Amino acid sequence: MFIKTRFVRILTFGFANGICLYPFVLIGKEIELTHRLITHEKIHLRQQLETMVLPFYIFYFLEFLFRLLQYRNFGKAYRNISFEREAYYFESHIDYLEIRRPYTWMKFMSRSEPKLTSY
Ligand SMILES: [Zn+2]
């Protein structure tokens, strides 16, 4: 369920247009709800389901800290979290969630571009 609220900027420290808190997706009040944004957030909902929700946030936070050490830049650290890499990589593929395999985000953990012959 998508909910528009002005708290998104506060919750994400201004980094994201939306935040996925299973089963809800909070979207900034001023943000246009595009197919790309909807797909991006639905990918996160799927990732949260397959990691049983709470571990998602733990992995997400730990990987953010790891990426922060790696890149020494908040924006780059956020964009390179494997959950985000998958979501950004496939957000413009409207049919992606119909053909997505579980745990695809794990393929995005390596530094190099993942080889995805099929997803
Ligand atoms: Zn995201």
For the entire predicted model, the pTM comes to 0.90
Calpha distance 49→41 (Å, rounded): 12
Tokens linked to 29? 């009040």
Q: Strand 18-21 to strand 24-28: parallel, antiparallel, or no bridges (unpaired)?
A: antiparallel
The Å distance, Cα 28 to ligand 1 centre, comes to 13
The Å distance, Cα 87 to ligand 1 centre, comes to 6
**pLDDT (mean) for 68-78:** 93
The Å distance, Cα 117 to ligand 1 centre, comes to 23
Calpha distance 46→31 (Å, rounded): 22
Own/partner pairs for 23-27, CB < 8 Å, 24+ apart? 25/1, 27/2, 27/3
Calpha distance 13→110 (Å, rounded): 26
Q: Specify the pLDDT at position 110.
A: 86
Tell whether the model's pLDDT for residue 103 goes beyond 70: yes
The Å distance, Cα 36 to ligand 1 centre, comes to 11
The Å distance, Cα 32 to ligand 1 centre, comes to 15
